Chain A
Amino acid sequence: MAGAAEKFIERFSRIQVAVHITGALSILILYITGFPISFPEQLGWIPKILFGFPITMFIHRVAGVILLLTALITIIYHTLNAIFIREHFLRHVLPAKKDFSDIIADIKYTFGIGEEKPKYGKYSWMEKIDVYSVIFIDGIILGISGVILMMPFLFMKIIPIHLMLSFKSIHAGFAIISVVGILFHFYMAHLSPEHFPIDCVIFNGEMSIKEAEETHPEWVREIKDEGVVV
């Protein structure tokens, strides 16, 4: 139980919380409206509820644009932060040598060979994989193929016509990978016994120091060294 004197530290900024909520909701809407387009025989009942295919398609495109806008906001926000405040968000997210040693230590610990769980920084290697999968699959691959499908006749000037339909299968294929990845993210973030039924850190941006010291001790040590937490 959280005590009255329990201290909290900022894990996510306000903009990260807002971007996550917007991105998560848009991705959810993209799944609901997108899969019936790829699998109309099985999921054709969803567009019927949503007043038909044209409106479902319109909602899908709006949600796609929302996701691209949130990605754009994230890029602009972190670029400006890095330039003017010198707050290097990427230093926590970029793959480091430590991640590879953490993977080996984690495997050893999980299978009872190693004695100690690796001391993670702000993001563990698995959380970094999660972040990169969202950036590459949802942001880049689905984003680019989605924009091409949205305006194919514009892109036919640079893409051979016989390849255009393949973007449909690329978009649908990576959507399947995306939904499997998001389910894993959901399990890791909310459904695992440590956090079930919900982990509120992503909604209020704050984590108790006690929890942070248990799950991300190296990060706590870093911010204590920087004087953020005493």
Chain B
Amino acid sequence: MGVTKLQLEAVSVIAAIIVLAVLITYAVDQSVPNQLSRIPDQAAYDQGMETNAWIDWAMKMIIAVAVISIMGLELFEHIEISGYFRKKKAGE
């Protein structure tokens, strides 16, 4: 078989991490059964929780700025790889 010791070690470590994560999650679930994500927004609102309008607005702004920045970086990377301006300068 073409299985190396390194591959076995890696699989063992990853399997151990997954088992540990399942156990931790299960233990947390048992001790705190009411995750916020399980509570519908209206029920949470009734308990005194509400979304903060200012935080919601700030999040939208952060998303917009971050996504535009990442798209800018992507465009820059694309121009660099294509070499458009360098080729244009060289008269190609």
Contact = CB atoms under 8 A, between A and B. Distances in A.
A86 interface: no
A66 to B, nearest CB: 4
A106 B62 CA distance: 26
A14 B9 CA distance: 10
Contacts of B89: 112
Interface residues of B, number: 51
Contacts of A202: none
B59 A170 contact: yes
Interface string A178-219: 001100100110001110000000000000000000000000
Contacts of A188: 77
A65 B21 contact: yes
Q: How large is the interface on A (under 10, 10 to 19, 20 to 34, 35 or more residues)?
A: 35 or more
A52 to B, nearest CB: 12
Interface string A38-82: 000000000000000010011001110110011001000000000
A151 B17 CA distance: 21
A176 B36 contact: no
Contact of B29 (A58, A107, A153): A58
B47 to A, nearest CB: 8
Contacts of A148: 36
A180 B37 contact: no
Contact of B49 (A22, A161, A177): A161
A181 B71 CA distance: 9
Contacts of A21: 10, 14
19 contacts: A21-B14, A57-B35, A61-B29, A63-B21, A69-B20, A73-B17, A110-B86, A112-B86, A126-B77, A150-B37, A151-B35, A152-B35, A165-B41, A167-B36, A176-B63, A176-B67, A177-B66, A180-B71, A184-B77
Given A22-B17, A62-B18, A170-B55, 4 more contacts: A18-B10, A73-B17, A149-B37, A164-B49
Interface of A: 14, 17-18, 21-22, 37, 54, 57-58, 61-63, 65-66, 69-70, 73, 106-107, 109-112, 126, 129, 148-154, 161-170, 173-174, 176-177, 180-181, 184, 187-188, 192-194
